[in-house]
Amino acid sequence: MNIIVLVKQVPNTTNIKLDPKTGNLIREGLESIMNPDDLHALEAGVKIKEETGGRVIAVSMGPPQAVDVLTQAMGMGADRAILLSDRAFSGADTWATSYTLSKAIEKIKDYDLILCGHQAIDGDTAQIGPQVADWLDIAQATYVREIESINQNNAENEIIVKRRLEDGFERVACKIPVLLTIISELNDPRYPHMGQLISACEQKAPIQVWNAADIGVKTIEVGLEGSNTHVIKTFTPNFKRQNELLEGSTKEVVSNLIDRLKKSDTSISHRL
Amino acid sequence: MTIWIIEDKCDGCQRCIKVCPYEGIEMKGNIASITDRCTSCGACIEACKKNHAIESDIEPRPVPDFSDRQGVWVFAEQNQEKLARVSLELLGKAQELAKALGQEVSALICGKDVSHLVETLHDHGAKNVYLIEDDALENFRTIAYANVIEDLVLTHKPNILLMGATGLGRDLAPRVSRRVGTGLTADCTQITIDPEEKLMYQTRPAFGGNVMATIACRYTRPQMATVRPGVMEAMPCKPEDTKIIRHEVSLKEQDIRTRILEKILEKKPGTDISEASVVVAGGRGVNGEKGFAMLRELSNLLGGELACTRLITEKGILPHDVQVGQTGKTIRPEIYIACGISGAVQHTAGMMGSRYIIAINNDPMAPIFKLANWSIVGDVNEIVPEFIKQLSSGGAS
């Protein structure tokens, strides 16, 4: 099976620090990592390749330093990696990003399966997967928590997956080619293999860098210029409430709290 | 396309730095300087009107004439022929937006047999309801629904299209936005109409809720946004002269490319935390399963539901559907009792909208106290049993 895995380099938002004076994000020292859900997508891709044969190509769009996540992808078992990097790509919204990725995928051509993380932790939009699927005019399944079977030999040529729903899950048969967005329940990603990591670092050859001209897009179609949405402003959220610190013995603070709740304008106040 | 600074004209006022959404400008000595992060968006040029110290070769993108794009639309989500609550919440917001624009509110609903839901949509502010019924729409399937909405949007040309940021909405909305050639903003927490340009301003959290970004879709229509359940409020209000517009579609099974083999319900009934008026939530400071049994007792006494942070779900103590926060649910109960929760933004993003917040934590520096109405610095294992004791005995003994 020919598999393409889309990966993204993101700042590790779990330990973000804000400047106490300005409230701005402190970017210095902010660690860059592979987006957590994308690790699960890569693991799924490599595992399918090991079982059915074929190849895995990891694709990322980002600044030159995003090559790090592709090196990691090679270490985990990707056969090739392609970085889409060009000043013209910067400032892209999900429309322009998904367009850029889909043009690269069209250039790669042979694919049965496209895998990506359900969402990236820096934007949390979960839009890239479905939008790439739509540019390519192929089927999609999101929130995939299990890949049940791949039936590529019969006339159906389909893959059966389990998708997580709010109240359970559903089993869906998808025509190949298909794009799947992966949630962390699917698997446990492997650690990069040291030998593969070293060969990925040494012979840079398997990691190619493609720019706008390489994938045949005009600069006005990508990046900020090609985007449909634009950021008007950013600000640090401010949540102010009247705060009261309840002090005293355990008994006192609890009875004070119950008093406050009895006097509150809530549906339970009369029941206390 | 580039932006540059005319150093002789820059007086170091830093206005450009303040307006730059991308941290694309920094001070080098007393003069502004463009960094690698610049995306040539041009916000700084506007800010530097006084000195004209910033120039660029960007040609302004013309804004097309959208006078034929009318109406605020809400995609009404239904599952097993039941309306999702978020759709009624969105109709509440849509009424406000439509008023600011002087336009009408419409809902669109697809399914196999859903005409009985139209009345509820009218009752919550939808003047027009676009109704699409077809056997192929019985279960939600992305391409089938996307085809239908694409057809409707291209025919009727709405100005705004809102969808719930539910599992279904987050699967469908991006596909629809790509199909109709427009932008989409996910998980908005605030939506307003800019009085000057009449654009929809869409505010959403980014970087795990550490930063809020206001986004607009100036050059394409419809302006599309998804909103999480529980963020907006439903406003029952029946407009005059309501209309039902049936829309016929021809869907071919082979074009849809997916088949639902089966649906398996996993959830126990009666534990939807987004519907509860009281939520008792626990985090790291709660002592495992035993501690949560205690919290459950408290929530039962208050007629509420039990919820938790991501860590607790990851440990397998409670299921994902009661996890509150960025990667879980957004809820706005009347009372939220945070027990042993430090208050990382990833969690608070999901509960900030609660009417009253009570925080119990033994760390006086825990950020959760900044959000709380009533703060108790103390051990959850002492406070909660006392709380239970006093509630059961009907007051302090």
Which residue carries 């610095």 as its tokens? B377
Mean pLDDT score, B141-147? 98
Does residue A94 belong to the interface with chain B, where contact is any CB pair within 8 Å?
Answer: yes
Task: State which residue of chain B sits closest to A268, comparing Cα positions.
Answer: B302
- The half-sphere exposure of B251 on its side-chain side, counting CA atoms within 13 A, is 28
- At B2-20, the pLDDT tens digits run 788 998 999 999 888 888 8
Query: Which chain A residues are Cβ-neighbours of B15 within 8 angstroms?
Result: none
pLDDT score recorded for residue A61:
97
pTM for the predicted model, two decimal places: 0.82
Number of Cβ atoms within 10 Å of the Cβ of A202: 8
Number of Cβ atoms within 10 Å of the Cβ of A161: 27
Give residue A235's pLDDT band: very low, low, confident or very high (50, 70, 90): confident
DSSP B363: -
CA distance A170 to A162: 6
The size of the A-B interface in CB pairs under 8 A is 263
The answer, yes or no, to whether residue B213 has pLDDT greater than 80, is yes
Can you read off the two tokens belonging to residue A76? 């985990």
Task: State which residue of chain A sits closest to B188, comparing Cα positions.
Answer: A125
pLDDT score recorded for residue B211:
76
Does residue A254 belong to the interface with chain B, where contact is any CB pair within 8 Å?
Answer: yes
pLDDT score recorded for residue A213:
96
pLDDT score recorded for residue B333:
86
Query: Which chain B residues are Cβ-neighbours of A170 within 8 angstroms?
Result: 139, 260-264
Give residue B397's pLDDT band: very low, low, confident or very high (50, 70, 90): very low
Closest to B282 measured CA to CA, from B345, B208, B361, B349: B361
CA distance B141 to A227: 27
Q: B-contacting residues of A 28-57, CB under 8 Å? A: none
Helical axes B167-180 vs A128-136, angle rounded to 10°: 40
Mean pLDDT score, B80-87? 91
- Give the minimum alpha-carbon distance from A35 to chain B in angstroms, rounded to a whole number: 12
Sheet with B305-308, edge to edge strand ranges: A244-245, B374-377, B356-361, B335-339, B278-282, B305-308
- Give the minimum alpha-carbon distance from A5 to chain B in angstroms, rounded to a whole number: 19
Number of Cβ atoms within 10 Å of the Cβ of B273: 25
Distance in Å from the first CA to the final CA of chain B: 74
Distance in Å from the first CA to the final CA of chain A: 63
CA distance B90 to B162: 7
Task: State which residue of chain B sits closest to A251, comparing Cα positions.
Answer: B386
Closest to B14 measured CA to CA, from B48, B52, B50: B48
Task: State which residue of chain B sits closest to A242, comparing Cα positions.
Answer: B373
Closest to A152 measured CA to CA, from A185, A132, A177: A177
The yes/no answer on whether domain B3-56 falls in CATH 3.30.70.20 is yes
pLDDT score recorded for residue B216:
96
DSSP B324: B
Query: Which chain B residues are Cβ-neighbours of A168 within 8 angstroms?
Result: 263-267
- Burial (Cβ within 10 Å: 0-12, 13-18, ≥19) of residue A32: middle
Residues 6+ apart with CB under 8 A from B65: none
pLDDT score recorded for residue B396:
43
Element (H, E) at B94: helix B85-101
CA distance A96 to B241: 41
Facing residue for A255 by CB, picked from B303, B358, B396: B396
Task: State which residue of chain B sits closest to A220, comparing Cα positions.
Answer: B1
Query: What's the angle, vertex CA B181, arms to CA B176 and CA B186, rounded to 5?
Result: 55
The answer, yes or no, to whether residue A205 has pLDDT greater than 80, is no
Task: State which residue of chain B sits closest to A135, comparing Cα positions.
Answer: B178
- Give the minimum alpha-carbon distance from A25 to chain B in angstroms, rounded to a whole number: 8
Give residue B23's pLDDT band: very low, low, confident or very high (50, 70, 90): confident
* Phi, psi angles (nearest 5°) of residue B44: -70, -30
Looking at mean pLDDT, say which of A99-108, B28-37, B79-88 comes out highest.
Answer: A99-108
* Cβ contact B332:B276 at 8 Å: no
Facing residue for A230 by CB, picked from B41, B335, B369: B41
Query: Which chain B residues are Cβ-neighbours of A131 within 8 angstroms?
Result: 174-175, 177-178
CA distance A231 to A208: 31
Side chain identity at A215, as an amino acid letter?
A: I
Give residue B222's pLDDT band: very low, low, confident or very high (50, 70, 90): very high
Facing residue for B356 by CB, picked from A133, A173, A264: A264
How many residues in chain B? 397
Closest to B44 measured CA to CA, from B9, B7, B81, B15: B15
Closest to B244 measured CA to CA, from B105, B129, B91: B129
pLDDT score recorded for residue A46:
97
Side chain identity at A60, as an amino acid letter?
A: S
Facing residue for B372 by CB, picked from A122, A241, A253: A241
Can you read off the two tokens belonging to residue B24? 């694309």
Q: Which of B163, B320, B327 to mutate to test the interface with A (most CBs of A within 10 A)?
A: B327
* Cβ contact A114:A44 at 8 Å: no
- Give the minimum alpha-carbon distance from A252 to chain B in angstroms, rounded to a whole number: 8
Query: Which chain A residues are Cβ-neighbours of B217 within 8 angstroms?
Result: 228-230
How far lies A57's CA from each of A38, A150, A203, A217, in Å? 13, 19, 16, 21
Facing residue for B206 by CB, picked from A123, A126, A138: A123
* Cβ contact B213:B21 at 8 Å: yes
% of chain B beyond a pLDDT of 70: 97
The answer, yes or no, to whether residue A134 has pLDDT greater than 80, is yes
Q: What is the three-state SS of chain A? A: CEEEEECCEEECHHHCCECCCCCCECCCCCCEEECHHHHHHHHHHHHHHHHHCCEEEEEEECCHHHHHHHHHHHHCCCCEEEEECCHHHCCCCHHHHHHHHHHHHHHHCCCCEEEEECCCCCCCCCCHHHHHHHHHCCEEEEEEEEEEEEECCCCCCEEEEEEEECCEEEEEEEECCEEEEECHHHCCCCCCCHHHHHHHHHCCCCEEEECCCCCCCCHHHCCCCCCCCEEEEEECCCCCCCCEECCCCHHHHHHHHHHHHHHCCCCCHHHC
CATH, range B273-393: 3.40.50.1220
The answer, yes or no, to whether residue B170 has pLDDT greater than 90, is yes
CA dihedral of residues B247, B157, B189, B302 (deg, nearest 10): -20
Can you read off the two tokens belonging to residue B277? 């008026």
Does ipTM exceed 0.90? no
Identify the weakest region by mean pLDDT among B10-14, B48-52, B196-200, B357-361.
Answer: B48-52
Task: State which residue of chain A sits closest to B39, comparing Cα positions.
Answer: A91
The answer, yes or no, to whether residue A188 has pLDDT greater than 50, is yes
Beta-bridge partner residues of A162: A146, A171
The answer, yes or no, to whether residue B220 has pLDDT greater than 90, is yes
Facing residue for A258 by CB, picked from B214, B278, B390: B390
B160: phi > 0 → left, psi -120 to 50 → alpha, else beta; which? beta
The answer, yes or no, to whether residue A225 has pLDDT greater than 60, is yes
pLDDT score recorded for residue A129:
98
Topology agreement, domain B3-56 and domain B72-256: no
Give residue A28's pLDDT band: very low, low, confident or very high (50, 70, 90): low
Side chain identity at A226, as an amino acid letter?
A: G
Mean pLDDT of chain A: 89
CATH architecture under which domain B72-256 falls? 3-Layer(aba) Sandwich (3.40)
Mean pLDDT score, B330-354? 89
- Binary contact (A131, B175; C-beta < 8 A): yes
CA distance B369 to B375: 6
Which residue carries 């987050």 as its tokens? B170
pLDDT score recorded for residue A20:
59
- At A138-153, the pLDDT tens digits run 999 999 999 999 998 7
Facing residue for B21 by CB, picked from A13, A128, A234: A234
Facing residue for B186 by CB, picked from A121, A127, A129: A127
pLDDT score recorded for residue A19:
62
The answer, yes or no, to whether residue B355 has pLDDT greater than 90, is no
pLDDT score recorded for residue B56:
85
- The half-sphere exposure of B56 on its side-chain side, counting CA atoms within 13 A, is 18
How far lies B307's CA from each of B221, B230, B231, B304, B323, in Å? 39, 15, 18, 10, 6
Q: What are the domain boundaries of chain B?
A: 3-56, 72-256, 273-393
- At A55-82, the pLDDT tens digits run 999 999 999 999 999 999 999 999 999 9
Give residue A173's pLDDT band: very low, low, confident or very high (50, 70, 90): very high
The answer, yes or no, to whether residue A16 has pLDDT greater than 80, is no
The answer, yes or no, to whether residue B113 has pLDDT greater than 70, is yes
